[in-house]
Amino acid sequence: MDMTRAPGSDVAISFCAAAGLGLQTAEDLTRQMLSKAGYYVFSTREYMSRVRGGNNSTQIRVSTQPVRAYVERIDWLFALSPELHSNITENITEETKILADASVMEKEISSLGRKMIDLDLAKRAADLGSPKFSSMIIAGFIAGIFMLKEDSADDLIEKRFSDSDLSEKNKKAFRVGLKLGEEYVEGKPVLKIPDKPGDDEIFLDGNSAVALGSASAGCNYITAYPMSPGTGVFSYFARNAKLFSSVVEQVEDEISAINMVVGAAYAGARAMTTTSGGGFVLMCEGLSLAGITETPVVVHLAQRPGPATGLATRTEQADLELALYAGHGEFPKALYAPVNVESAFKMAGQAFYTAHKYQVQSIILTDQYLLDSGYDIKKPDPSAIPAPISPIKTESGYERYAFPAKGKYVSPFGVPGFGKGFVSFDSHEHTEDAHITEDRSLRKGMVEKRLKKLEAMAEEALPPIVLGPKKYDTAVICWGSVFEPLKEAMEIIGWKKAALVACEQVYPLSDEFCKIISSPCKKIFVEGNATGQFARIVRSLTGEKADELVLKYNGFQFTVEELVRELDKLLEKKS
């Protein structure tokens, strides 16, 4: 089985370095200049939970076709720091070209039984005036192997270094690297340039996509207590608070984070909080408060491996059941699981729409892999995100929790200070005008009022993405960020009468999804957790059991190759 695409169509470059070494410049420049030159580029990061030292890596895949997933293959490895991790060393092959400083890496590379190419970076950078130029020499080298023009990154360098002297020196370093690269490939570029419809594309990662989708939905109140990988979205808002005209507050804990957005949303803000599993658990009581008070809030739950502190900077999909059952008592909520960057933008918008339309809580489940991965996408259109729903101007005698009119699911949403009515809010079971009650029939009515919304939410639930042959005997089912690696894997396998079914909304389930699930096909669930949480939820909601589970829970995303191996086996077996 050929594990990847046709040779000559795809180049995988990995950068490895200790935290704090400043390889970011080389990575950013590589991505930007190759994208500008017309290649399709995908980038993803994996890093240790430390500020200095260790060994982190970034993978940049350059391709002649759209590329959106992580592979284990390494064609070019730029290794700046010793003690490479096994996720790198295991994937170094005969074909991998290893570029490094012999003084730093020679021993380690030869102990792996491999040869390396000495870039002599330390000396070359010193000759140029500072060890900091290493990064620029590497970027130049990469430009060289793709045979880019020597001025191809000049504008990017100028943008990066406002000081003109510094910028000139960096351009010089870039050209030094470029020469070396060109010589290395003897003038033959490693990949030909495809016809990419350039212009209206932009590089976006998951973090920016969630933030921009939320801003398009009108999010104007965001809180967080820093926790990887949930902080990226918050930082994006903090940087752009003025542009978005948004309240942005780093709070004392996640309990404050959720209660503050509940207060804000009660007063009419479009509010969101962002966190990871550990912080989300602290938000559960607040989520339940939003539930009984029918306050629209959005929670971005950026998953990382647990339990407890788990692996702070790694990825996993193990908080689905937590999210579904979060908060004591029974109340409806909507769960979205963006499958890629475009989807992250859309689902963020959808989360706000549903939260406000049904006065419920939407949870956006992402993960470290999705948030830290990016590629060029067609520029998303902010006006494609549903416009916010305005509160009504209240009349005197307004009742916040009035039983909905026939055919309606929600009480009209008023806010304090707008209109003639009082707008109240109560965490107890309450009367229609939001006062404490222990009346049994009222209690029953209020429970039913809240839960009934789920019917309409299910009717409006987003159908899954279904790819592959029209007629299939197997459904390969995933949710969230597993989608892109799985899609590439299925393309490589050649589908084999299997369809790929990916859920962007995991709760409530759409009719379309339930139909597929209850059809007689074989069901294989592919999930980034140890127990098959989505399979279990689907079974509890539909009675349909998974036939096979493909699971991963070592802190890394599935690689394309891994999925090819697994699915090839499973799809072979059935026939």
Partner 1 sequence: MIKTEFDYTEEISWCPGCGDYKILESLKMALSELGLDPKEVVVASGIGQAAKMPHYLKCNCVNGLHGRALPLATGIKASNRSLTVIAVGGDGDMYGEGGNHFIHAIRRNPDITNIVCNNMVYGLTKGQGSPTTEIGMKTPTQPFGVTSKPLNPLLLALSSGATFVARASAADTERTKNIIVKAIKHKGYALIDIFQPCVTFNKINTWQWLMKSTKWLDEERDASDKFEAMRLSMESSPYPLGIIYRTEPGRTFEENQAPYETNDDTPLYARAPSLESVRKLLA
* Residues within the interface to partner 1 (CB under 8 A): 202, 208, 212, 215-221, 240-249, 251-253, 255-257, 259-271, 285-286, 289, 379-380, 382-383, 385, 387-388, 390-391, 415-428, 434-436
> Which CB, 290 or 492, lies closer to partner 1?
290
Amino acid letter, 256? S
When the beta carbons of 270 and 523 are compared against partner 1, the nearer one is 270
- Give burial (CB, 10 Å; 0-12/13-18/19+) of 568: middle
Q: What is the DSSP letter of 132?
A: G
| Cβ–Cβ < 8 Å for 46, 87 | yes
**Could you tell me the smallest distance in angstroms from the CB atom of residue 264 to partner 1?**
4
In the complex with partner 1, the residue whose CB is nearer, 170 or 223, is 223
User: Comparing C-alpha atoms, which of 538, 508, 69 is closest to residue 331?
Assistant: 508
**Shortest reach from residue 288's CB to partner 1, in Å:** 8
* Cβ distance to partner 1 smaller for residue 247 or 467: 247
Residue 17 or 341 with smaller CB distance to partner 1: 341
Query: What is the rounded distance in angstroms from the CA atom of residue 336 to the CA atom of residue 320?
Result: 10
Q: How far is the CB of 432 from partner 1 (least distance, A)?
A: 13
Assess contact for 430 and 446: CB atoms under 8 A. Answer: yes
* Tokens describing residue 112: 């792996």
Side-chain-facing half-sphere of 458: CA atoms under 13 Å: 12
Q: Closest approach of Cβ 431 to partner 1, in Å?
A: 10
**Beta carbon nearer to partner 1, 20 or 329:** 329
Q: How long a stretch of residues is the chain? A: 575
User: Taking CA 326 as the corner, what is the angle to CA 322 and CA 329, rounded to the nearest 5 degrees?
Assistant: 140
β-bridge mates for residue 502, sequence order: 465, 478
Distance of closest approach, residue 209 Cβ to partner 1, in angstroms? 10
Nearer to partner 1, 218 or 232 (CB): 218
Q: Measured from the CB atom, is 382 or 494 closer to partner 1?
A: 382
From the CA atom positions of the chain, what is the Rg in Å?
A: 26
Shortest distance (Å) from residue 408 CB to partner 1: 21
* Minimum distance from residue 412 beta carbon to partner 1 (Å): 14
Q: How far apart are CA 422 and CA 401, in angstroms?
A: 12
Beta bridge partners of 335: 363, 507
Q: How far is the CB of 507 from partner 1 (least distance, A)?
A: 24
Eight-state DSSP code of residue 407:
T
